[in-house]
Structure formats: C-alpha cells, structure tokens
Amino acid sequence: MSIRTVKTTPFADQKPGTSGLRKAVTVFEQPNYLENFVQSVFDSLDGYQGQTIVLGGDGRFYNRTAINTILKMSSANGVGKVLVGCNGILSTPATSCVIRENGAFGGFILSASHNPGGPDGDFGIKYNIGNGGPAPEKVTEAIYAKSKQIQEYKILEASDINIDRPGFFKLGLMQVEVIDSVASYLKLMENIFDFDQIVDLIKSNSFRLCIDSMHAVTGPYAQKIFEQRLGAPVGTVINGVPLEDFGGGHPDPNLVYAHDLVEILFAQNAPDFGAASDGDGDRNMILGRNFFVTPSDSLALLTANAQLVPGYKAGLSGVARSMPTSMAVDRVAKRLNLPCYETPTGWKFFGNLLDDSRATLCGEESFGTGSNHIREKDGLWAVLFWLNILAVRRESVEAIVRQHWSEYGRNYYSRHDYEEVSSDRANELVNNLRLQLPSLPGQKYGSYQVEYADDFSYTDPVDHSVTNNQGIRIGFSDGSRIVLRLSGTGTKGATLRVYIESYEVDSSKHNLDTQKALATLIDIAQDLAKITYYTERQAPTVIT
Ligand code: G16
C-alpha cells in the first residue's frame, strides 16, 4: 500500500455554513471535491497525527463512498486510529458521544441533516473537535482558508474495507475499528434517565407511544432503545430502516414533513406520545395525543422539570437558547434563578457555554435540544427526557404543557420559511430592513410599539469572540418579537426565515390558533420587510 499525492485545484464554494459543508450530491461527486475539503480539514489542524478520530454518517446516498475515501485519506495523513460506525452509521449525537468517551482528537460526520437525500438530494460533511462538538468558527474559517489554496491531497492506495460488521482492520499504518453504532450511546442514556421508571410507564397498558425515524439514522437506535431495552411493542418505531434516500421523504421532524406521525397522533384513539427525529438524529419533534409541543416550549418544559430526571437532579448551571428561539425558557430560568444565554443560530455557539459549565441545557426553535452530556443536540435524548417526565408525573403531554402555560404564561410562536428564493433578492430584503433599524424604536403599529430594533451580535462570554450580523430583531414593548434571518443550511438559492413571537399571560387566552394569535405581528413583518415584494412569494413554503 502506498501513499499517493494528487495534484488538485481549489473549489471556490467550500465555506462551511451553519452546520458544515452541505451541497447537492452532484457537487460532491465532482472529481476531488470531497478530497479537497477533507485535506483542507487536515491542513488546518495541528497535532492529529497518531491520534484517534471518529467517522460515521446518517446513511444517506454517498455515505459509503465518502467513508472509504476519508479512511484512506486519514491513513495517508498520519491519523493513528479511526473508530467507524458499523455500516457507516453513526448519528450526530452518537458521534459526539464516541468522541468524548474515547478522548478522540475529533471526528467527521457525514450528513446534510434534515435535507433530502439520494442521488438528486444533498450530502454534507462536518468536522467536530475533541469536545465532541461542531468546530467553532475559527476552525471552520481556517478550513475554508485552506480550501482556497489547496494544491494537493494525500490518499492511500488500498482496497475498500468491509464496514458491515464490528471488527479491527489495518489500513497502511493506521488502525480501523468498526464499532457497534448504538452501544456507547445507549450506555450514556442509561446513565442519565430512569429506565426502570420508563419501563413501568410503557408496561402500564394505559400508555402507548409511536416513534418515527423517517427512514433515517435513528432507526437502529430507536429500535434498540424503545422496543428492545424499554419493552415497547415491536412496531412502536415506524419508518425504522435507514434508506439512502430516506424513502423519498424529507427527514425533517416538523408538522409538515413528519406527516406519517402527525396522522397517527391526530387520529381518533391516537397514542399518548409521539416523536420524530431527523436525518442524522439530532433533532426531535414531540407530540401528545392531538397535541403539538413547540420546540421552544419543549426547552422551557425540560428546564422546569429537570429535577425529575436522575442526570439533572443535582441542578442546572444555566440554560441557553439560540436568538430566534422563543423566550419561554427565559421565564423558567428567571424563576429558578438560572443564567440564560442567547446565542446565534448554530449548535457550535453552545460549545463554550457547555465546556465552561455555564449552561446545562440548550435548545433551538429548529427542533433541537441537548445538554452537557454531549456537545451536539440530541433527538432521542429529548424523547427520553419527555418519557422520564411522563413516567414520573403520569399526566398527559397536553396537561403538562397547559399547566406550564398557566404557571409561566404562553409564548405563541411560529416560523415562516420562504425556501429557494433568489439570493440577490433575499439579501436586498435584509439590507433594506437593516437601513430602517435606527428609525424603528418608538414607532407604533396598532397596539404594538417598537422597543428595540437591531442586527444581533454575540460576544462569547468565554473566549470573547464576536459574531456579527446574526439576524434582525424587532422587539415590542409587550415582549413580542419579530426576527428575520437567512438560513445557513440551504443548498438552493436562499431561505428566508421569519420568526414571530408574542406573549400571553392570561390563561383564558391560551387556546387560540397560533397563526391567528400572531396575525397582526405577521402583517407587521410583511409591511416592514416587504416580504412578498422581495421573495416574489404570496405565502411561506413551510410554516412551523
Ligand atoms: C443546523 C444547526 C442548528 C440550526 C439549524 C438551522 O441544524 O446545527 O443550530 O438551528 O441548522 O439553521 P439555519 O436556520 O441556518 O438553516 P442541523 O440539524 O441542520 O444540523
């Protein structure tokens, strides 16, 4: 086996976005495209030679090809050992768990998360650092800088290895261990949650649940945890076989794309609890019988009920949410006297807060919740957290949420996405709005008065790095907000996200339809940002 040095030229578009490099599969299939990016990662890192790295993905189309390429490039670049998930499968949270458990130097996660897969879908690659979390901006910037200068990459000339079952291999001087994809993750979950109590709940004939893996990575994890370990009947996990194209679906656990689960939970005689997870297993959607829990409310509820879970009994050090996430958790944090941090969108911004023990729980409106147990958001962890709460409280999901609203008030919340709009027009919209910001405070729109209007900037309290232009916030004197930003994860044109939030303390008004409750604010957003004009769309593509 010899190491080949291959001449190459840079691609101009290898700047990682909100969560790694995501492109159409056809872009990744260009000669040298994947290799350039992987070499740029190695070129931007110091000290990985001889160390262990972790490698896995969500099983989407191109996963296997990429795994073999990365294995051979790792060997050629002097990596000591690679832990690779069996069949190339490792959910994003499991990768974070394995990196931490083994004190690995870092890891590659092959996923475009919730984006569709298959030959005409998307692929992605993300590098995680030794704390198990996404590379922070200084690392992704360094990778991008290397990708613009790259002239050659190194790869071992060798045959592909068989990753279909656990075992040990040698690839050049490098060791490869194919590991069980689920074992470490299951062990970690058993250390956090009261599995016996959840088993009792599931055994108590009065409780039924349904878990939708959307033909993505969590299938094997969910079957092992819910059906085998916790004793739920076979068939509890639906769409449980990971497919390279996710069965043609869009593995995004929201009310629009997780329609199989939504139909089951909103039918007559529906189960008591339902949950879905996304392509790579880091997102979750929680449903009760005929009831949807918004991700922002879910974070607030987990915080308020954390003392019911063994792993958090000792207390929380603080909580964090991304800026567009509703402020429901802020109210719980205030009551519990906990610090509450507001970060830009992107899980990478939680890493320092978790490492520095400033936050224990973190969450985002984009269906992501997690804690200091790993450094990624974690879909099945959130499901187990809910089950643990249900097992202790023995009330319905709806009753628990309504009780929370009556105690803390309700944050009506919705996100309107305008997908695949022209990038130029979307940027014009944002620029136009930015120009208006200084004149907005004090302006009245019906009963709403603007209290502040800014473009969100974040100063990391740990390393003091500053991240600017993270989304436009327009806050009103009654606590309502409108936030607008462009997505950093789309692969076609631009996606405009409009986040709308209002706060209602009066529990007699907690039964409104969300879109109706937010109608006036939605109109204000439309007027201020001229959304129809710039996007050339009459309505959002997705409303969550
Ligand atoms: C990623 C990030 C999240 C972010 C989400 C949406 O999630 O890790 O922090 O909230 O994208 O980002 P955007 O609004 O920029 O599209 P995932 O699950 O796609 O890796």
Q: Please state, in angstroms and rounded to a whole number, the distance separating the CA atoms of residues 400 and 408.
A: 12
What pLDDT is stored for residue 484 in this prediction?
A: 97
Residue 154, pLDDT above cutoff 80: yes
Residue to substitute in 122, 366, 376 for testing ligand 1 pocket (most ligand atoms within 8 angstroms of CB): 366
What pLDDT is stored for residue 434 in this prediction?
A: 95
Q: Please state, in angstroms and rounded to a whole number, the distance separating the CA atoms of residues 226 and 49.
A: 39
**pLDDT band for position 203 (50/70/90)?**
very high
What pLDDT is stored for residue 256 in this prediction?
A: 87
What pLDDT is stored for residue 18 in this prediction?
A: 80
Residue 265, pLDDT above cutoff 90: yes
What pLDDT is stored for residue 492 in this prediction?
A: 85
Q: Please state, in angstroms and rounded to a whole number, the distance separating the CA atoms of residues 274 and 291.
A: 10
**pLDDT band for position 95 (50/70/90)?**
very high
Residue 205, pLDDT above cutoff 80: no
SS3 154: strand
**pLDDT band for position 486 (50/70/90)?**
very high
> What predicted TM-score, i.e. pTM, was given to this entire model?
0.94
Q: Give the phi and the psi of residue 107 in degrees, each rounded to 5.
A: -170, 160
Parallel, antiparallel, or unpaired: how do β-strands 273-277 and 237-238 relate?
A: unpaired
Q: For residue 489, how far is its CA from the centre of ligand 1 (angstroms)?
A: 6
Q: Of 282, 230, 284, 245, nearest to 261 (Cα)?
A: 284
Share of the chain above pLDDT 70, in %: 100
Mean pLDDT, to the nearest integer, of 249-258?
Answer: 90
**pLDDT band for position 19 (50/70/90)?**
confident
Ligand 1 atom having least distance to the Cα of 278? 18
The burial class, CB within 10 Å (0-12 / 13-18 / 19+), for 466 is exposed
The burial class, CB within 10 Å (0-12 / 13-18 / 19+), for 526 is middle
Mean pLDDT, to the nearest integer, of 132-158?
Answer: 96
Residue to substitute in 284, 364, 365 for testing ligand 1 pocket (most ligand atoms within 8 angstroms of CB): 364
The burial class, CB within 10 Å (0-12 / 13-18 / 19+), for 431 is exposed
Q: Is 287 in contact with 265 (CB distance < 8 Å)?
A: yes
Six-digit token string for 464:
């003091």
Q: For residue 67, how far is its CA from the centre of ligand 1 (angstroms)?
A: 23
What pLDDT is stored for residue 160 in this prediction?
A: 94
- Report whether residue 369 contacts ligand 1, using a CB cutoff of 6 Å: no
SS3 455: strand
What pLDDT is stored for residue 393 in this prediction?
A: 97
What pLDDT is stored for residue 369 in this prediction?
A: 98
What pLDDT is stored for residue 476 in this prediction?
A: 96
Q: Give the phi and the psi of residue 119 in degrees, each rounded to 5.
A: -55, -30
Residue nearest to atom 1 of ligand 1 (CA): 19
Mean pLDDT, to the nearest integer, of 83-103?
Answer: 97
- Report whether residue 140 contacts ligand 1, using a CB cutoff of 6 Å: no
Q: Which amino acid is at 40?
A: S
Q: HSE of 431 in the Cβ direction (CA atoms, 13 Å)? A: 7
Q: For residue 442, how far is its CA from the centre of ligand 1 (angstroms)?
A: 33
Q: For residue 523, how far is its CA from the centre of ligand 1 (angstroms)?
A: 26
For the chain, what is the mean pLDDT? 96
Q: How many whole angstroms from its chain centre is CA 312? A: 22
Residue 175, pLDDT above cutoff 90: yes
Helix (H) or strand (E) holding 362: strand 361-364
- Report whether residue 352 contacts ligand 1, using a CB cutoff of 6 Å: no
Six-digit token string for 375:
């450094």
**pLDDT band for position 467 (50/70/90)?**
very high
Residue nearest to atom 13 of ligand 1 (CA): 487
- Report whether residue 419 contacts ligand 1, using a CB cutoff of 6 Å: no
Percent composition of the chain: helix, strand, coil (DSSP 3-state, to 5):
35, 25, 40
Biggest CA-to-CA distance, the chain: 73
- Report whether residue 346 contacts ligand 1, using a CB cutoff of 6 Å: yes
- Report whether residue 122 contacts ligand 1, using a CB cutoff of 6 Å: no
- Report whether residue 303 contacts ligand 1, using a CB cutoff of 6 Å: no
Q: What is the pLDDT of residues 387-436, one digit of tens each?
A: 999 999 999 999 999 999 999 999 999 999 999 999 999 999 999 999 99
Q: Which amino acid is at 531?
A: I
Mean pLDDT, to the nearest integer, of 253-280?
Answer: 94
Q: What is the pLDDT of residues 336-353, one digit of tens each?
A: 999 999 999 999 899 999
Q: What is the pLDDT of residues 451-466, one digit of tens each?
A: 999 999 999 999 999 9
Q: For residue 20, how far is its CA from the centre of ligand 1 (angstroms)?
A: 10
Q: Which residues carry out catalysis?
A: 113
What pLDDT is stored for residue 496 in this prediction?
A: 96
What pLDDT is stored for residue 125 in this prediction?
A: 97
- Report whether residue 115 contacts ligand 1, using a CB cutoff of 6 Å: no
What pLDDT is stored for residue 532 in this prediction?
A: 95
Residue 491, pLDDT above cutoff 90: no
Q: Please state, in angstroms and rounded to a whole number, the distance separating the CA atoms of residues 260 and 166.
A: 33
Residue to substitute in 375, 489, 542 for testing ligand 1 pocket (most ligand atoms within 8 angstroms of CB): 489
User: Please, which residues have CB within 8 angstroms of residue 183's CB and are 6 or more apart in sequence?
Assistant: none
- Report whether residue 282 contacts ligand 1, using a CB cutoff of 6 Å: yes
Ligand 1 atom having least distance to the Cα of 283? 18
